[in-house]
Amino acid sequence: MNTPFFKQLTILGVGLIGGSVALALKQAGQVSQVTGAGRNLNTLAEAIKLGAIDQATTMEEAVSTADVVVLATPVGQFPRIMQAIVPHLKPDAVITDVGSTKSDVAAAAREHMGKHLPRFVPAHPIAGAEKSGVSAARADLFLGKHVVLTPLPETSPDAIDIVERLWQTCGAKVSQMTPLMHDQVFAAVSHLPHLLAFALVAELDNRSNAEQLFGYAAGGFRDFTRIAASSPEMWRDISLANKQPLLKELKAYQDQIAYLAAILEQGDGVALEMLFQRASIARNNWNKSSGN
């Protein structure tokens, strides 16, 4: 029997992503023990029951014996957590995260990780679901999905190799980019769509006939707004952390909406069809290339 590559793994924030990491490594037989820590004792008890973690303890104790530590809380909590765990980390421990923004995470690491900064590897798994919490975790969540690493110039190559191996063991395809490039890309293709979905559902819910509207909503509405069921706390933190790139994307979208309103007002069927055709071709090409 092969010896697991990851001896002691600690997950800080055992939700959908953190729980799925643990389950994937366990299923692959590549982790000896998983320890969890978090704010909610009921969540930790559920994680043990589901087999995602083997034990739960305090954050400081959980990291003290860890070979690899995964920060899987909302990104707004990272600075506080980094400050708390640094005095308790093993010298050679590797620390990584699963946050959806990276420039803020890099800045927090530089401020709070101290001598452990070279052992910190920022990462973002491009996988998730509209349901949050450890009850939604599953071992195949990352199978065939992209994970972006955004190592800093200070990051040690062996730490990068360890985190890359972790994600490849989970079945993911790993790539690298800078934190800034990451935030610009995902403001457009991830963060903006979430804001739009939240905004549409909130706007309809504010109407006096909201119950009637939701009663007639069908597949198109369900597809467009599915991600509005995501964690409000997590997306609050993501939106604020990536504010400037996201504001730029919102402005570009507002310009497109203004153009759409103008040609609709003018009754310009040719322009409408051209816009729809361009979007349809782009969407179908993406669908084919991504295998969705």
CA 271 to chain centre: 37
Q: Where in the chain is the domain with CATH 1.10.3660.10?
A: 181-290
What is the pTM (predicted TM-score) of this model? 0.88
DSSP-assigned letters across all residues of 47-82: HHHHTS-SEE--HHHHHHT-SEEEE-S-GGGHHHHH
Top CATH class, 6-177: alpha beta
Q: Residue 171 contacts by C-beta under 8 Å, 6 or more apart in sequence?
A: 24, 140, 142, 143, 144, 145
Residues of the chain with CATH 3.40.50.720: 6-177
Q: Per-residue pLDDT tens for 224-263?
A: 999 998 889 889 989 999 999 999 999 999 999 999 999 9
The fold of 181-290 is 6-phosphogluconate dehydrogenase C-terminal fold (1.10.3660)
**What is the three-class DSSP state of 37?**
strand
Kind of pairing between the strands at 123-125 and 146-149: antiparallel
SS3 content of the chain, % helix, strand, coil (to 5): 60, 15, 30
Tens of pLDDT, residues 119-159 = 999 999 998 665 678 888 999 999 999 999 999 999 999 99
